[in-house]
Amino acid sequence: MRVLLVTMGSRGDVEPFAALAAGLARTGHDPLLAAPRRLTEHAAARGVPVAPLDDGIFALQAEVAGKGTRASVTAARSALPLLRRWLDDVATLQDSDADVVVYAPKSLGAHHLADRLGVPSIAALPVPLFSPTARFASPLSPVRLPRFLNRASWRLAGAVEAPYRRMVRTWRSEALGLTGPTSGLVNRVARDGILHAWSPHLLPAPDDWPAELAPIGFWSGASHDRWTPPDALARFLDAGEPPVYVGFGSMLAKDPDAFTRTVLDGLHRSGRRAVLATGWGALRPSDVPETVHVLDQAPHDWLLPRTSVAVHHGGVGTVAAALRAGVPQVIKPFLGDQPFWARRVQEIGIGAAPLAGRLTADRLATALDDAASAAGAARETAARVREEDGVGVAVARIERRVDGA
């Protein structure tokens, strides 16, 4: 079975697809992972065949971060041409001989590519976005809603594609040669079926979902247990108690210097050592005490089990990594579905209350204390999550989809 996997976004969006690709290869299938160019290196190093796609949209995001409203307006004008470049790269995959396309809905064009290839497609998401329920509001909802508005809030998923709908329709015709009407993304995902790639121990299926929507477990890849840390990191970890991990992934702070000072002050007030992962720019440390070690990044599955608390932005990829590591969490959400996952971490008892709004040193220090008290629950939940085989279940479902096509 030849499987084309298409995803877009940050490392948290790409790594689950890379894990699925590796799982497909282990079971004798032929995967190809198409993803943003800057994020395919790690997948290729693990032996996953990759098709690097244009990633200019991420350079634009980094360029305007923290530069105010005028820069954001300018960026909005530039985004559509960059997204068209992305789609044009997706269109180059129409020469592939895939039997099925597994796609992240945010990739915008992958389901149209499946139409061009004449093969079935399956949506895949680590976040519930296209399957309405009355039990909780859409993770995209910017505010907490009264229960009677929960189901209505799921219309937000359709609004997400509105700014790009005309461009995608034009690209579909020009680049893929497809004509005629096409359904919106919400209807298409409902038709394709969806693989919900998160653990039911983090968020169980609501009782008004059909069985096929139930989450199947996280898609985690090969362990980095044999990864060799830099000497400075190894010495720091050996020099004292397990440190706090602080990293905000691809998030970009408006004032990274001030944000970093607040984080360092909070760590100092808590009396804890820490490893700071600078990521894409939320943290910009310049003068740190001996109790803090700074690095760009390290494999979460290697580093997090060696820490005491994980402080992060609430992206579901990092939530999953900390959950599997058995490390309690402190989440400072920035946008999107991050507040939703931050609340879930608190609700199931494996972390502190979300640090919504403005971060202060006192709030961070208090949250670290609160999270530390959840260490036992975090370890117990991790043991259950590690028993899941989300990749194996996903491979079986893809096989059934192709066999039944």
Q: What is the 3-state secondary structure (H, E, C) of 262-308?
A: HHHHHHHHHCCCEEEECCCCCCCCCCCCCCEEEECCCCHHHHHHHCC
Considering the domain boundaries, does residue 44 fall inside one? Answer: yes
Exposure letters 164-174 (e unless 16+ CB within 10 A, then b): beebbeebbee
Considering the domain boundaries, does residue 225 fall inside one? Answer: no
Whether residues 144 and 253 fall in one domain? no
Whether residues 354 and 302 fall in one domain? yes
Measured CA to CA, the distance from residue 362 to residue 364 in angstroms comes to 5
Whether residues 176 and 298 fall in one domain? no
Task: Give the CA radius of gyration of the chain.
Answer: 21
Measured CA to CA, the distance from residue 324 to residue 327 in angstroms comes to 8
Whether residues 143 and 67 fall in one domain? yes
Considering the domain boundaries, does residue 180 fall inside one? Answer: yes
| 3-state DSSP assignment of residue 404 | coil
Whether residues 158 and 50 fall in one domain? yes
Considering the domain boundaries, does residue 287 fall inside one? Answer: yes
Output the pLDDT for position 143.
79
Do 34 and 51 meet the contact criterion of CB atoms below 8 Å apart? Answer: yes
Q: How many domains does the chain have?
A: 2
**Containing domain of residue 176, as a range?**
2-218+388-403
Q: Is the pLDDT of residue 71 over 60?
A: no
Considering the domain boundaries, does residue 399 fall inside one? Answer: yes
Closest CA to 112 of 84, 82, 91, 89: 91
Output the pLDDT for position 204.
97
Measured CA to CA, the distance from residue 351 to residue 366 in angstroms comes to 12
Output the pLDDT for position 225.
60
Q: Tell me which of 275-284, 321-330, 352-361 is least confident.
A: 275-284
Write out pLDDT tens, residues 114-144: 999 999 999 999 999 999 999 999 998 887 8
pTM greater than the 0.75 cutoff: yes
Write out pLDDT tens, residues 330-360: 999 998 899 999 999 999 999 999 999 999 9
Considering the domain boundaries, does residue 224 fall inside one? Answer: no
Exposure letters 109-147 (e unless 16+ CB within 10 A, then b): bbbbbbebbebbbbbbbbbbbbbbbeebbbbbbeeeeee
The first and second tokens of residue 81, run together, are 């041409």
Closest CA to 304 of 245, 389, 254: 245
Output the pLDDT for position 332.
97
Whether residues 377 and 393 fall in one domain? no
Q: Is the pLDDT of residue 62 over 70?
A: no
| 254: CATH | 3.40.50.2000
Write out pLDDT tens, residues 88-98: 999 999 989 99
Q: Is the pLDDT of residue 252 over 90?
A: no
Overall average pLDDT of the 144-162 stretch: 86
Whether residues 310 and 352 fall in one domain? yes
Output the pLDDT for position 222.
61
Considering the domain boundaries, does residue 226 fall inside one? Answer: no
Place of tokens 């976040």: 127
Whether residues 368 and 395 fall in one domain? no
Considering the domain boundaries, does residue 223 fall inside one? Answer: no
Confidence of residue 182 (pLDDT cuts 50, 70, 90): confident
Whether residues 59 and 205 fall in one domain? yes
- For residues 73 and 347, the model is more confident at 347
Whether residues 55 and 204 fall in one domain? yes
Overall average pLDDT of the 390-397 stretch: 97
Whether residues 43 and 93 fall in one domain? yes
Whether residues 144 and 269 fall in one domain? no
Confidence of residue 79 (pLDDT cuts 50, 70, 90): confident
Place of tokens 């269109």: 91
